[in-house]
Chains A and B, each alone.
Chain A
Amino acid sequence: MELIVQGIIKAFELIISFDAEVMGITWLSLKISGTATFISLFFGVSIGAGVALTDFPGKRIVISLINTGMGLPPVVVGLFVTIMIWRSGPLGFLEILYTPYAMIIAQAIIATPIVMGISLASIQSLPANLRLQILSLGASRLQMAWILIKESKLPLLAAVMAGFGGVISEVGASIMVGGNIKGYSRVLTTATVMETGRGNFDIAIALGIILLIVAFLVNLLLTQVQQRQRLR
Chain B
Amino acid sequence: MNPILTVQNLIVRRGGVTVLDINELKVETSRILALIGPNGAGKSTLLLTMAGLLKPSGGMIHYQGMPIDSSASRSNMRRSVCVVFQEPLLLNTTVYKNVALGLKFRHLTGSEIERSVKESLDYFGISFLAKRSAKTLSGGESKRVSLARAFALKPQLILLDEAFNSLDPPTRETLIDDLRHILQETKISAVLALHDREETLRLAQDVAVMAEGRIIQSGTTAQIFNKPDSEFVANFVGTETILEGTVENSNAGLLGISVAGKIIEAVGNYLPGQNVYCCLRPENITVSAVIPEKISARNVFEAKIQKIIRQAFFYKMILDCGFPMVAYITVSSCEDLGLCEGSMVAVSFKATAVHVMRREK
Query: Which residues of A, 104-154, contact B by the 8 Å Cβ criterion?
Result: 127, 129-130, 132-140, 143, 147, 150-151
A198 CB contacts on chain B under 8 angstroms: none
Comparing B59-67, B82-90, B118-126, B268-276, the segment that makes contact with chain A is B82-90
Q: CA of A171 to CA of B303 in the docked complex: distance in angstroms?
A: 94
Minimum C-beta distance from B114 to chain A (A): 17
| A137 with B92, Cβ < 8 A, contacts A132-B83, A132-B85, A143-B105 known | no
Write out the residue numbers on chain B whose beta carbons fall within 8 Å of the beta carbon of A129: 85, 87, 89
| B197 contacts partner chain A, Cβ-Cβ < 8 Å | no
Residues of A contacting B149 in the complex (Cβ-Cβ under 8 angstroms): 137
Q: Is A228 at the interface (CB under 8 A from chain B)?
A: no
Partner of A135, one of B78, B133, B153: B78
B53 touches A137 (CB 8 A): no
Chain A: interface secondary structure? helix
Assess whether B91 is in contact with A137, with CB atoms less than 8 Å apart: no
Interface centre among B48, B78, B106 (most CB of A within 10 A): B78
| Chain B, interface residues (CB within 8 Å), range | 20 to 34
Chain B residues, CB < 8 A from A137: 82, 101-102, 105, 149-150, 153
- B79, A147: Cβ atoms under 8 Å? no
A-chain residues with CB within 8 Å of residue B82 when the two chains form the complex: 136-138
**Most chain B CB atoms below 10 A, which of A138, A140, A143, A151:** A138
Nearest-Cβ distance from residue A157 to partner chain B, whole angstroms: 13
B73 to chain A, nearest CB (A): 14
Rounded to whole angstroms, the CA-CA distance of A136 and B344 in the bound complex is 56
Find the A residue at minimum CB distance from B146.
A133
Distance between Cα atoms of A133 and B91 in the complex (Å): 11
- B105–A133 CB distance below 8 A: no
Closest CB-CB distance, A106 to chain B, in whole Å?
36
Are A133 and B89 neighbours in the complex by a CB distance under 8 Å?
A: yes
Return chain A residues, CB-CB under 8 Å to B133. Answer: 232
Choose from A132, A139, A140 the contact partner of B48 (Cβ within 8 Å). Answer: A132
B83 close to A138 (CB less than 8 A): no
Contact of A138 among B87, B91, B105 (CB under 8 A): B105
Q: Which residue of B lies closest to A136 (CB)?
A: B83
Give the residue of A127, A138, A143, A232 whose beta carbon is less than 8 angstroms from that of B89. A127
What is the chain B residue whose CB lies nearest that of A153?
Answer: B92
B residues near A127, Cβ cutoff 8 Å: 87, 89
Among residues of A, the one whose C-beta sits closest to the C-beta of B150 is A137
- Report B130-151 CB contacts with A as 1/0, cut-off 8 Å: 0001010000000000000110
Considering only CB atoms, which chain B residue lies closest to A133 in the complex?
Answer: B89
Q: How far is the CA of A172 from the CA of B102 in the complex (A)?
A: 49
B51 contacts partner chain A, Cβ-Cβ < 8 Å: yes
Q: A129 to B83: give the CA distance in the assembly, Å.
A: 11
Give B69-85 interface residues, CB cut-off 8 Å to A. Answer: 75, 78-79, 81-83, 85
A150 contacts across to B, CB distance below 8 A: 91
In the complex with contacts A132-B48, A232-B92, A232-B133, A138-B85 CB distance below 8 A? no
Could you list which residues of chain B lie within 8 angstroms of chain A, going by C-beta atoms?
A: 48, 51, 53, 75, 78-79, 81-83, 85, 87, 89, 91-92, 101-102, 105-106, 133, 135, 149-150, 153
Contacts A138-B78, A147-B101 supplied; 20 other A-B pairs, CB < 8 Å: A129-B89, A130-B89, A132-B53, A132-B83, A132-B85, A133-B83, A133-B85, A133-B89, A136-B78, A137-B82, A137-B101, A137-B149, A137-B150, A138-B102, A138-B153, A139-B102, A139-B105, A143-B105, A147-B91, A151-B91
Instruction: Please name 13 pairs of A and B residues whose Cβ atoms are closer than 8 Å in the assembled complex, sorted by A.
Output: A130-B89, A132-B83, A133-B83, A134-B101, A136-B53, A137-B82, A137-B105, A137-B149, A138-B79, A138-B102, A139-B105, A140-B105, A147-B91
